[in-house]
Amino acid sequence: MSDTTIKLSDAAIRKQMLADFLFYFRQNRGAVVGMWVFLGLVILAIFAQVIAPHDPTQQYRDALLVPPFWQEGGSTSFLLGTDAVGRDMLSRLIYGAQYSLFIGIVVVAIALIGGIFVGLLAGFFGGWVDSVIMRVMDVILAFPSLLLALVLVAVLGPGLTNAMIAIAIVYQPHFARLTRAAVMGEKEREYVTAARVAGAGTMRLMFKTILPNCLAPLIVQATLSFSSAVLDSAALGFLGMGAQPPASEWGTMLAEAREFILRAWWVVTLPGLAILISVLAINLMGDGLRDALDPKLKRS
Amino acid sequence: MIRFILSKLLYLVPTFLGITLIAFSFVRILPGDPVLLMAGERGISPERHAELSAQLGFDRPLWVQYFDFLGRLFHGDLGNSLVTKKPVMAEFLTLFPATVELGLVAILIATLIGVPVGVLAAIKRGSWFDQVSMTAALVGFSMPIFWWGLLLIIFFSGILGWTPVSGRISLVYFFPDVTGFMLIDSLISGQKGAFGSALSHLILPSVVLATIPLAVIARQTRSAMLEVMGEDYVRTARAKGMPPSRVIGVHALRNAMIPVITTIGLQIGVLMAGAILTETIFSWPGIGKWMIDSISRRDYPVVQSGLLLIAGLVMLVNLLVDLTYGLINPRIRHK
């Protein structure tokens, strides 16, 4: 036995892993920018009540379709102008961040928990359990996601909650597949056998021994699903199947603004820009996470 | 190869049955009563309601209805639309070419631009071209295409007045439906300006629909090229003095194309989802708009069969992609 072997505590290993992760994440400039923008959005959403200059549903009847302040006819009391019923655009956009982040979190949480559970079952038990579960996942994946979500919402009734459930159901197979693949790769490894021999029960093996070692691809997929959820829920809102007016959800705002497309550019341009910026920020972050968590890419 | 095809086909049977089950059960649990809907605004007496239910088979047990549905499906009978009363299949076939035309042009744009951009970005890794094009690809990938479509309408139709806002062709032209593809039919008709009109109607929707696939293809091509260019055989080819154009064009590109072809094939699902939004924005008379309209009109048979047809189609294209993959990569089919 060599004398130079140093016993590292779990905490020290975790600290080193975190340091490694941060090092690789910081190397990706886009990811860092994305992270700051995302943090900005989170702050906007949390402190919307303090930051927003007006109530997002307050209609100023004497200020309909006021352009942004830098344009002729604009006013500094409505920095980004007002919509067709006189609501302050800036305030609605700020409150809209709450919707998007909320939708992203709920959708990813449902899809992640459901997918991990189903994927663990399939990967761990194999055999007919695996076949049945994966065939069901294949069926869900055969439908274009937006179409399936649309029909689900039509079944459940239009609205934000149902839209989130529908999108989560549509995303869930991706997590199930990833979890299953990772579990199948891990379950034959020695540490799992060791745990089994040491007397670990099925639940402990699945959730405490194997699952933590399968998390990297799931984290990356969760980030990507977060941005897709923001996009898809906005698309559902745009098609009148998501959040219902007067909600200041960005897609719903766009749907309401469609008829003013050639008269008032700001009511159409700004909500879409908000969607684009948040989705882009999350995707940038996702790219950085993938690079930082994927050991194969690190070496190159 | 035949065994490979058969095993793939066999694999599809349970998936397809699952799809029929989903399409069938969705429509049974949709809120609203189809019989009442058919009766329209005037309402209906309870006796007539029972009579119509029996006539349409809604009073039988669900599993009987399901097997009846399956049986008719295999005879190509998808029922009639509650709104137009026409067979769903006939409606689908009339509208389908419009979506195919839009989708084909979109995937053509995406491939013809995406692949060269990806290759060039990989060759010039780290250059300004690489950075700009990959940033653009990420923006495209993150684009809410319904908004992107509106922006293009504002700019090209509103401000510049170059392109029409909706439809497939100007109403002044009229010619018989030969292929269902407006670009080809307008050429065959020989009417002056018809082709130009069809093209100007097609350009914005197809650019909008191409945006996300283009971004995905460019990114995928770049990473596939980068991976292949690090392989030993590429280094060997370089080392023995082969001209760079041949190394890239023959050794690298061919091998890098395998995952890219898969990516292109898998865009069909993305295209269908995109078609729903694109066709809605541009009032394009295709499958996507048909589905949206039918959902909001609660036209059950159309929603049910449309869902089935689209999922079946996506499945079929995925099968073709799988088979192509097996064809160009023998390792897959012998696994």
- Which segments of chain B does DSSP mark as H helices, in order? 2-29, 34-39, 46-56, 62-74, 88-123, 128-141, 145-152, 182-189, 194-229, 232-239, 244-246, 253-281, 287-297, 300-328, 330-333
> What is the average per-residue pLDDT within A47-64?
85
Q: How confident is the model at residue B334 (pLDDT cuts 50, 70, 90)?
A: low
Q: Is-contact A177 A214, C-beta < 8 A?
A: no
Helix (H) or strand (E) holding A256: helix A250-257
Number of Cβ within 10 Å of residue A8's Cβ equals: 11
Evaluate if residue A142 carries a pLDDT over 60: yes
Identity of the highest mean pLDDT range in A38-47, B262-271, B321-330: A38-47
Of B211-220, B263-272, B323-332, the poorest mean pLDDT is in: B323-332
- Candidates A146, A278, A287, A294: best to mutate against B (most CBs of B within 10 A) is A146
State the pLDDT confidence band at A199, using cuts at 50, 70 and 90.
confident
pLDDT for the residue numbered B34: 65
pLDDT at B103: 92
Tokens 């700009």 label which residue? Answer: B132
Residue B234: pLDDT band (50, 70, 90) is confident
**What is the band of A298 on the pLDDT scale with cuts at 50, 70, 90?**
very low
- Name B17's Cβ contacts closer than 8 Å, sequence gap at least 6: none
Contacts of B223 (CB under 8 A, 6+ apart): B122
What secondary structure does DSSP assign to A199-222, as a single string?
Answer: T--HHHIIIIIIGGGGHHHHHHHH
The pLDDT, as a whole number, for residue B81 is 84
Report chain B residues whose CB lies below 8 A from the CB of A300: 230
Q: Average of pLDDT values for A107-135?
A: 91
Determine the pLDDT at residue B43: 67
Give the mean pLDDT of A107-119.
Answer: 93
**Which residues of A are less than 8 Å from B21 in CB distance?**
139
A56 has a pLDDT exceeding 50:
yes
pLDDT at B33: 66
- Of B104-118, B207-221, B249-263, B302-316, the range with the lowest mean pLDDT is B249-263
Report whether pLDDT(A1) > 50: no
Per residue in A203-219, pLDDT tens? 888 888 888 878 888 88
Q: What is the mean pLDDT of residues B138-151?
A: 92
Is the pLDDT at B115 greater than 60? The verdict is: yes
Backbone angles phi, psi at A81, to 5 degrees: 85, -175
CB-nearest to A142 from B29, B158, B311 is B311
Q: For A128-132, A149-153, A207-211, which range has the lowest pLDDT when averaged over its residues?
A: A207-211
Nearest CA in chain B to A237: B146
Does any CB of chain A come closer than 8 Å to the CB of residue B147?
A: yes
Closest approach of B189 to chain A, Cα-based (Å) = 34
Give the DSSP letter string of B15-32. Answer: HHHHHHHHHHHHHHHSSS
- pLDDT value of position B31: 62
Quick one: CA torsion of A25, A28, A30, A32, rounded to 10 degrees?
Answer: 40
Report the pLDDT averaged over residues B192-213.
88
pLDDT of residue A299: 42
pLDDT tens digits for range B48-83 = 777 777 777 777 777 888 888 888 888 878 888 878
Residue B302 has pLDDT above 70, yes or no: yes
DSSP B111-150: HHHHHHHHHHHHHTTTSHHHHHHHHHHHHHHT--HHHHHH
Greatest mean pLDDT range, A205-214, B2-11, B47-56, B288-297: B288-297
Residue A111 to residue A269: CA distance in whole angstroms? 31
Return the residue matching tokens 């949206």. Answer: B292
Q: Facing residues of B299 across strands? A: none
**What SS3 state is found at A82?**
strand
> Angle at which helices B128-141 and B194-229 pack, to 10 degrees?
120
A with B: how many residue pairs have Cβ under 8 Å apart?
125
Q: Looking at residue B142, what is its pLDDT?
A: 93
Query: Do the Cβ atoms of A183 and A215 come closer than 8 Å?
Result: no
* pLDDT given at position A168: 93
**Given this model, what pLDDT does residue B37 score?**
65
Q: Is the pLDDT of residue A39 over 90?
A: yes
- At B173, is the pLDDT very low, low, confident or very high (cuts 50, 70, 90)? confident
The pLDDT of residue B42 is: 65
Give the closest of B22, B26, B135 to A139, CB-based: B22
Chain A contact residues (CB < 8 Å to B): 30, 135-136, 138-139, 142-148, 150-152, 154-155, 157, 227, 231, 234-235, 238-241, 251, 254, 258, 261-262, 265, 268-269, 271-272, 275-276, 279-280, 283-284, 287, 300
> CA-CA distance, A55 to A78, in Å (whole number)?
12
Nearest chain A residue to B31 by CA: give it: A155
Residue B263 has pLDDT above 80, yes or no: yes
